[in-house]
Structure 1
């Protein structure tokens, strides 16, 4: 995964990492879980933080609320992390191509992810990368241990990439 992400981020000058999900619905919270851990590592946990050329956004169930901020930031790359029903092994992380979004279910957003991506493409000249993580359960419960472990591995990978690209220093 690290090599694939590094390839996608090779010319990255300004990165936004946006976690999407619902913390009340089990593994749907994984995008938020990852972003919150990154926030704690690089600074403090809030809805939005900026460290040099790294922007971390906890978008919750309303990623569309952050489109104006994204237009102001003018990132070169946007990494969206979300739980996705992909018929994969629990916790599997997959880069979802823009034309594949329609094939997967992203459950708790106010707007479908496909519409958000189209909007961002229209108004922001940025490479958009979607990371889907296969859930175990999407119900009123805590995040599963399997998906939490997958999220932790992703956090470590992202920290390595961010530091390698010197985005937060």
Structure 2
């Protein structure tokens, strides 16, 4: 998917957003699984009272209290998602579309996390998924070239959608 298509898809699925939480999920020591936390750190500079960005690492369930206090209307989870696509492919999923995907590498499977957050926060949840290439253990965060390109695309698309939805401070 090209950047403009991704921006348009995100903006469409986030229509009506009042407050948005972006959760970067993944294990930094498992190769391309680090993509979620790395994206969260890259966009942490964005400022808005309507926006919360959290690097959740491998335990997004630990942040439900903070999320409840923030009360987002929408949540975007950024994570490595194995769809069988070429490495670095970026896709947007609604929680109902996660049913056929493999279990995640995290303590709580992504589908269960999505269902829980939607129910607990009464929000709409999207997953910005990036197809990993390698999930082997490493001693520091490192992405494959393809996933680094996917990360860049996902970052640009997310920032573009947030801008289009007037969620960013000038």
TM-score by length of 1: 0.89
Matched, 1:10 2:15: yes
**What is the alpha-carbon distance in structure 2 between the residues aligned to residue 122 and residue 158 of structure 1?**
24
Please report how far the alpha carbon of residue 74 of structure 1 lies from its aligned counterpart in structure 2 after TM superposition.
0.8
Matched, 1:35 2:32: no
Please report how far the alpha carbon of residue 100 of structure 1 lies from its aligned counterpart in structure 2 after TM superposition.
2.9
**What is the alpha-carbon distance in structure 1 between the residues aligned to residue 122 and residue 65 of structure 2?**
14
* 8 Å contact from structure 1 (residues 82, 106) kept in 2: no
Structure 2 partner of 1:165: 165
**What is the alpha-carbon distance in structure 2 between the residues aligned to residue 115 and residue 140 of structure 1?**
25
Please report how far the alpha carbon of residue 106 of structure 1 lies from its aligned counterpart in structure 2 after TM superposition.
4.8
Matched, 1:132 2:129: yes
**What is the alpha-carbon distance in structure 1 between the residues aligned to residue 22 and residue 35 of structure 2?**
13
TM-score by length of 2: 0.88
Provide structure 1 residue ranges, at least 5 long, that are not aligned to the other structure: 44-50
Provide structure 2 residue ranges, at least 5 long, that are not aligned to the other structure: 1-5
**What is the alpha-carbon distance in structure 2 between the residues aligned to residue 26 and residue 73 of structure 1?**
31
Structure 1 partner of 2:3: none
CA offset digits 1:23-43 (Å, max 9, x no partner): 11110011111111101x426
